[in-house]
């Protein structure tokens, strides 16, 4: 069917690439390009014996638009799948515009020197993508991504109006380390040490980090502590779900993780302000990343499950309705299938599906769109087929 250029070759990219190679009819050819080309070459060598997908590799620094343009012109992909870091979103979008190629990512742009992510920078590309006749599909991971598609699906099939959404992200996996992050440590720690916020009655309500705690009894997992965080899909769902009154996002954290994080914060290790160390400028959080376990090394050690989904409260035929849509994923099964733990798996699978939606022309709209703005049905079907089956539960336990 077509060719995809995948930028980045970390935890999430590795899963997406495995999945593209399982789906050779659609992904006839992929080029894996990243800063460290040896990682791309190693993955190519592992996978090419197992797949009909033709794999090539390339070195690229995605901070440089001219390098990206040269690469896209050489590879001539139908879609660019950005699985590098949020800092590279805009340079990759610029390169897609210059070469007229569709764009997909899993995380919204965040300037490297301010831990603040929001969509305004990427939404500013709307008119240019529209004029160029190409699509930018934003947030095709799990959250954002699948949670956004769950919301569009609930609205399409179960509700006349959705008033409340609680997005619950539970990782009950145990990797045996006292402290490690399940995806890029720098991005992860920036996210969880930031102030929390939720959307209520048309505006943001800000909270202190980890200020709001709830306990929830997750299906197939059991009771876990969860904390309210700011999360990027809230911003777009607040605009795209008519009638919405409140959207909150909760993530589970164990006590050991929180104690370590607090201690690292207290000593200044999570700061993104550069400091001088032995005559060299270093960023404490980047140094911390270098000493923490690489998330891709967690795969063989992690046991347990994730449960990520959304609880909706709204109206159907004039009556109140409550619904929970979620996916449960098992760390060890993911590792067996693609050599990665479930956090990378739950992001990499929807990244592949998003690229497939554009490659096959199933989703076709010129401009910049969040994922809930497309028809959710083909994506939901693909989730069942490609390893992330979902469950719909009526009248679930609610979060107070
Ligand atoms: P990793 O750190 O494991 O991988 C990042 C990859 O990008 C590495 O291969 C890295 O190269 C490469 N890279 C970084 N900077 C550049 C650059 N300037 N030029 C080219 N390549 C570069 O991250 P993850 O796989 O954990 O995360 C990938 C993305 O997925 C992130 O944006 C993250 O926010 C997002 N994510 C989204 C989720 C969702 O549900 N929506 C959940 C989890 C993650 P090198 O090997 O040289 O370091």
* Structure confidence by residue, pLDDT tens digits, 33-80: 999 999 999 999 999 999 999 999 999 999 999 999 999 999 999 999
At 213-248, the pLDDT tens digits run 999 999 999 999 999 999 999 999 999 999 999 999
Beta strand 161-171 pairing with 246-252: parallel
Distance 343 CA to ligand 1 centre (A): 13
In degrees to the nearest 10, what's the CA dihedral of 76, 354, 32, 59? 80
- Cα(169)–Cα(326) distance, integer angstroms: 10
pLDDT of res. 184: 86
Percent residues over pLDDT 90 in the chain: 91
Distance 345 CA to ligand 1 centre (A): 14
> Best substitution site from 35, 43, 355 to test ligand 1's pocket, by max atoms within 8 Å of Cβ?
35
Atom nearest to 141 CA in ligand 1: 41
| Sole residue written with tokens 């306990």 | 215
Check if 147 has its Cβ closer than 6 Å to any atom of ligand 1: no
Whether the Cβ atoms of residue 100 and residue 69 lie closer than 8 Å to each other: no
- Whether residue 114 has pLDDT greater than 80: no
- Whether residue 116 has pLDDT greater than 90: no
pLDDT of res. 30: 98
Q: Is the Cα torsion angle 146, 8, 2, 339 positive or negative in sign?
A: negative
pLDDT band at 186 (very low <50, low <70, confident <90, very high): confident
| Sole residue written with tokens 């305004």 | 120
Atom nearest to 146 CA in ligand 1: 40
- Cα(295)–Cα(201) distance, integer angstroms: 38
pLDDT of res. 342: 95
- Cα(128)–Cα(134) distance, integer angstroms: 9
- Whether residue 294 has pLDDT greater than 80: yes
Query: Which tokens is 355 given?
Result: 């690229």
Q: Whose CA is nearest to atom 39 of ligand 1?
A: 141
Atom nearest to 143 CA in ligand 1: 40
- Cα(317)–Cα(294) distance, integer angstroms: 50
Distance of CA 147 to the CA centre of its chain: 10
- Whether residue 115 has pLDDT greater than 70: no
- Cα(264)–Cα(46) distance, integer angstroms: 37
- Cα(118)–Cα(132) distance, integer angstroms: 24
Q: Whose CA is nearest to atom 42 of ligand 1?
A: 347
At 333-361, the pLDDT tens digits run 999 999 999 999 999 999 999 999 999 99
| Sole residue written with tokens 């992690």 | 302
Distance 119 CA to ligand 1 centre (A): 18
- Cα(368)–Cα(125) distance, integer angstroms: 7
- Whether residue 20 has pLDDT greater than 90: yes
pLDDT of res. 331: 97
pLDDT of res. 117: 78
Check if 308 has its Cβ closer than 6 Å to any atom of ligand 1: no
* Residues contacting 361, CB < 8 A, separation 6+: none
pLDDT of res. 225: 96
């Amino acid at each position: 069917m077509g060719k995809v250029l995948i930028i980045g070759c970390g935890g999430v990219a590795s899963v997406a690439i495995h999945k593209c190679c399982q789906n050779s009819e659609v992904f006839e050819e992929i080029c894996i390009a990243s800063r460290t080309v040896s990682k791309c070459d190693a993955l190519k060598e592992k996978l090419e014996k197992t797949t009909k997908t033709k794999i090539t590799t390339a070195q690229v620094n995605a901070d440089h638009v001219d390098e990206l343009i040269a690469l896209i012109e050489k590879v001539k992909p139908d879609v660019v799948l950005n699985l590098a870091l949020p800092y590279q979103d805009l340079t990759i979008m610029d390169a897609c515009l210059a070469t007229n190629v569709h764009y997909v990512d899993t995380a919204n742009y965040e300037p490297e020197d301010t831990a603040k992510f929001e969509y305004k920078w990427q939404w500013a590309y709307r008119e240019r993508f529209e004029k160029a006749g190409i699509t930018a599909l934003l947030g095709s991971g799990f959250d954002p991504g699948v949670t956004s598609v769950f919301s569009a699906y609930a609205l399409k099939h179960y509700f006349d109006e959705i008033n409340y959404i609680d997005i619950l992200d539970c990782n009950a996996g145990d990797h045996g380390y006292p402290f490690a992050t399940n995806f890029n440590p720098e991005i992860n720690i920036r996210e969880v040490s930031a102030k929390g916020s939720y959307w209520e009655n048309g505006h943001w309500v800000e909270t202190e980090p980890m200020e709001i705690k709830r306990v929830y009894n997750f299906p197939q997992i059991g009771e876990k502590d969860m904390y309210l965080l700011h999360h990027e899909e809230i911003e777009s769902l607040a605009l795209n779900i008519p009638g919405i009154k409140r959207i909150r996002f909760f993530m589970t954290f164990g006590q050991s993780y929180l104690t370590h994080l607090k201690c690292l914060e207290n000593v200044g290790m999570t700061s993104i302000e550069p400091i001088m160390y032995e005559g060299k400028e270093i960023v404490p959080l980047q140094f911390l990343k270098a000493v923490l376990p690489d998330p891709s090394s967690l795969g063989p050690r992690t046991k347990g499950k994730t449960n990520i989904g959304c609880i909706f409260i709204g109206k159907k035929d004039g009556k109140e309705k409550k619904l929970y849509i979620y996916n449960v994923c098992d760390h060890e099964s993911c590792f067996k299938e693609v050599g990665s733990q479930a956090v990378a798996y739950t992001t990499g699978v929807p990244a592949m599906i998003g690229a497939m939606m554009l490659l096959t022309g199933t989703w076709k709209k010129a401009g910049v769109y969040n994922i809930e703005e497309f028809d959710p049905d083909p994506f939901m079907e693909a989730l069942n087929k490609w390893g992330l089956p979902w469950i719909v539960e009526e009248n679930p336990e609610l979060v107070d």
